[in-house]
Structure 1
Amino acid sequence: MIKETCEKSYDLPIVKSLLNEKFDLVFIQPMFNECIFGLIYRMQIPFLLFTPTTIPSWVAGKVGGNFPSSITPNIMLEYPPEMSFFQRFLNLGMDTVAEVYMSLWYEPMIEKIYREKLGEDIPSVAEIYTNASLVLSNGHFSLFPPKPYFPDVIDVGGIHSRPGKPIPKDLEDFISQGKDGFILFSMGSAIKGDMMPDTKRKMILNVFSKLKQQVLWKWESETMPDLPKNVKLVKWLPQQDLLGHKNIKMFITHCGGGSTEESIYHGVPLIGIPMFADQPHNADLAKKHGFLVQLDWNSLAEENFSAAIQAILSDPKYLSNAKKISALFKDRPVDALELGVYWIE
């Protein structure tokens, strides 16, 4: 997909037109997005890197850093900071395989495309990486193990998180109908409701119908033939405002990076149903910190789904752990956004 997307992107008129524009600075999400490097070099613009997760080993290595395999778990392996000898051995293997893959196949493929489109004089991906002025890493040492950063890597985990604001009246009225708080359920923007098998949908509704809590469910339409009275469908939710609401009891989530981070910021316990990409890693992180009950989508059934909800509702440790990590996450001398802006300027 990356090869095809890279080739087609350079042929788009809107991309070609950028060569005639003037910019002061470019933000680049670098993880498997090096296709843009050719354009950035040709435009001769200062650029910084913003990683959507805590900075991975291979990005750190490109900007002069070094995360030793013996102490820094590869982000794809989900190992604990205190790795066993066998885990460190496999971690070294994963780091080595990734480096070989990137340097011998992936990067040459990208370089070939942008040189064909914009000129043979454009340097390698590795050389362009070294010209990055700054790396903003979406991590924080309260959540991830400490890493040996150079001064050009700045942790800004929580940069988009903020206190909750008043929610729309229709949502507040719905929440107020119950005396036992509410549950938020969202599987993010990439996974659509109509992808769900109807048997799964009915099973989830059946579990919700037996709860005392009100349930807000992000769904692509706002109607459903068998919808219980305590469930409301909403096409798009003000997620941060709901997570910051005083009556929220839990968040049932796919554990996307943004959703997990916002939950940590607001101190909300989770039921995690990770699907792909970084979601299993995020769920594992929350589980290690003791504020998440994890479920597998393929084995999700009424019994284990209901049991997970009751575990969060009945055991105060989940809320206590969520509040604890939230306090640590927000306990900083400077707000993450303010810190990021300072270094950018």
Structure 2
Amino acid sequence: MKIFFSFLLIVVTLRNSKCAKILGVFPVPARSHCILGNSLMKGLAERGHDVTIITPYTEKNLPKKGSYKQIELTEFEGLHDRRRTKMNIFEMEETTPFLFIPFVLQLMTEITEEVLNHTNVQKLLKSGEKFDVVIIEQFMNEAHKGFATHFNAPMILLNTIGANIWTNMLVANPAPTSYVPDLFLSYSSHMTFRERLTNTALYVYCYILFHAFNFPQHARLYNEYFPNSLPYYDALYNVSLVLLNSHPSLNQPVPYVPNMIDIGGFHVQPTKTLPHDLQKFLDESKEGVIYFSMGSNLKSTELPPKTRNAFLNTFAKMKMKILWKWEEDVLPGQPKNVKSGKWLPQQEILAHPNVKLFITHGGLLSTTETIYHGVPVLAIPIMGDQKLNAESIVNEGFGLSLGYKEISEQTLTQKLDELLNNPKYAKNAKKRSEIFHDRLVGPIETAVYWVEYVIRHRGAPHLKVAGVDLPWYKYMLLDVIGVIFIALVFSSYLVYKVTKKICSLCSKPKVQKVKRS
């Protein structure tokens, strides 16, 4: 039945659409973001569309259909690597969101201007090209909304994570702080009073930060690089659709307005053949394999010797084999049961039946892939959404979490013993995988359908809620609350005055008349 509906959607899509010219703007110099941007644009090209993508990385595995033109942000990868060498991300693990968010905002403001000022981007802006729709990665790069206004095309946002404040604000999506935790907090939907207080404080802090500082900074860039376009704030809220890299199997359920669509897992591709050495290693590991990777931004080689040795000593005591993504040629003190590799095909590894556990940083792509393949998890979150993902993993019962500062031979042994010997984690992982796969159509088909829907309906303005047009004080009902408050104060004052008058009358002594004889 699912295959039938997928086929039907493809047929309907092909019949109701024609080749469209689509521009994709995916400027974040991080491999995980690049994977998502390329996956969406390649999916559109495979449907026969004429795709142009602005990207820091060159895609070598080009789609066989359609047209796929790359405008490479040359030198961006090197620039990112130079920024990266100035910091050890592991040391940011304890950074409070109140400091981390301004850091990311400033970094993305710099990257946003570097994109707009890039020679290849300037050539595109002056080329006179026409596009039917512009898809922009939404990651604190507000000035890039100018690409849509410059090319007079509907704007679609791709949010590489689930719904959050910097997307919700643009489409008037409600996110009650009573049960929707901020992206950078490791809270569940069922928060304590203290957590709700912190969550609300962070929401207000971010709201002020965006409106008082971030939006004005990007307004300056927008007006400089798109001087003849729509006014900045008109462009900012002119969002036709938001594609979210989320799904109920991956994220806590939250409210969505009609123009927000879940496509979580759209980057997951059918598994390919493993390299011979990896295939042999996995096939011969009948006792099982633990796969260990900290993703593309975090590097295992940056682990301090004490932490690295805690892993090595723990692994050396185990009968299972370990496959570790280690970014250098030599892993010091490598036990016999550990195999390392600078790069490893993660999806193909997780798909192998002998892989029993995934030790991960808890990034959304890694979390998505482990859920897709139904593999239990030990999450070691460091920053960003990783702590929220780790909390979700624990709450859903298909893994455990271990704080970076808590890593020791003892804590690792305890966590691994629990995960490998208690069958509930593997069972719950398989259940989450079933939920992930139980869809009417696949996520990339869903994404393609909605992009073409926006094109067919010229921006689909009928999907937008009226809240987008309201000033912030009306959206939050502050004017209504203010009137009610004044009415209550005035009513209370009247009641007080009337009560005081009555009491004063009642308290006066009665004058007794004296009878005269």
Aligned to 2:112: 6
1:77 equivalent to 2:204? Answer: no
1:18 & 1:305 partners in 2: Cα distance?
52
Structural mapping, 1:152-171, within 5 Å? 152-171=259-278
1:55 and 2:170 correspond: no
Where 1:277 maps in the other structure, the secondary structure is: coil
Change in CA separation of 1:150 and 1:225 when aligned onto 2, cut-off 3 Å: closer
Q: What CA deviation, in whole Å up to 9, does each residue of 1:130-164 have, x standing for no partner?
A: 32221111112344343332221111111122454
Greater Rg by CA: 2
Partner of 1:94: 202
5+ residue gaps in structure 2? 1-106, 453-517
Give deviations 1:179-222, integer Å, cap 9, x for gaps.
20111010111122331223332332222122111111111134
Is 1:335–2:442 an aligned residue pair?
yes
Q: Is the 8 A contact 1:70 1:88 kept in 2?
A: yes
SS at match of 1:227: coil
Q: Check 1:201–1:153 CA distance in 2 against 1; reply closer, same or farther (3 A cut).
A: same
What does 1:303-314 align with in structure 2 at a 5 Å threshold? Answer: 303-314=410-421
Instruction: Find the residue that maps to 1:180 and give its secondary structure.
Output: coil
CA drift of 1:7 comes to: 3.0
1:176: which partner in 2?
Answer: 283
CA distance in 2, matches of 1:64, 1:13: 35
68 and 196 in structure 1: CA distance in 2 versus 1, 3 angstrom threshold: closer
Task: Tell me if structure 1 keeps the 8 A contact 2:150–2:229.
Answer: no
SS at match of 2:146: helix
Q: Which residue of 2 aligns with 1:283?
A: 390
Match for residue 116 of structure 1?
A: 224
1:290–1:321 Cα contact (<8 Å) kept: yes
What is the CA distance between 1:44 and its match in structure 2? Answer: 2.4
> For 1:188-227, what aligned pairs fall within 5 Å after superposition?
188-227=295-334
SS in 2 for 1:93: helix
- What is the SS of the residue equivalent to 1:135? strand
Residue 237 of structure 1 is matched in structure 2 by 344
1:250 and 1:171 map into 2 onto residues whose CA distance is: 16
- In structure 1, stretches of 5+ residues that fail to align are none
The Cα offsets for residues 248-304 of structure 1, whole Å up to 9 and x where unpaired, read as: 110010111100111111111111111111111111111111112211222311111
Deviation of the 1:166 alpha carbon: 3.4
Paired residues of 1:178 and 1:212 also in contact (CA < 8 A): no
Mark the CA change 1:333 to 1:206 in structure 2 (over 3 Å): closer, same or farther.
Answer: same
Matched with 1:267 is 374
Aligned position for 1:34:
142
Asked whether 1:248 is paired with 2:355, we answer yes
Q: Aligned-pair distance for 1:225?
A: 4.9
TM superposition shift of 1:17: 1.2
> What is the number of residues matched between the two proteins?
344
- Report the AA paired with residue 203 of structure 2: D
Q: For the Cα contact (< 8 Å) 2:301–2:328, is it kept in 1?
A: no
Q: 1:186 aligns with which of 289, 293, 297?
A: 293
Aligned position for 2:53: none
Secondary structure (helix, strand or coil) at the match of 2:339 reads strand
| CA 1:87–1:196: 2 relative to 1, 3 Å | closer
Q: TM-score, normalised by structure 1?
A: 0.92
* CA RMSD in angstroms, aligned pairs only: 2.1
Could you tell me which amino acid in structure 1 is paired with residue 149 of structure 2? Answer: Y
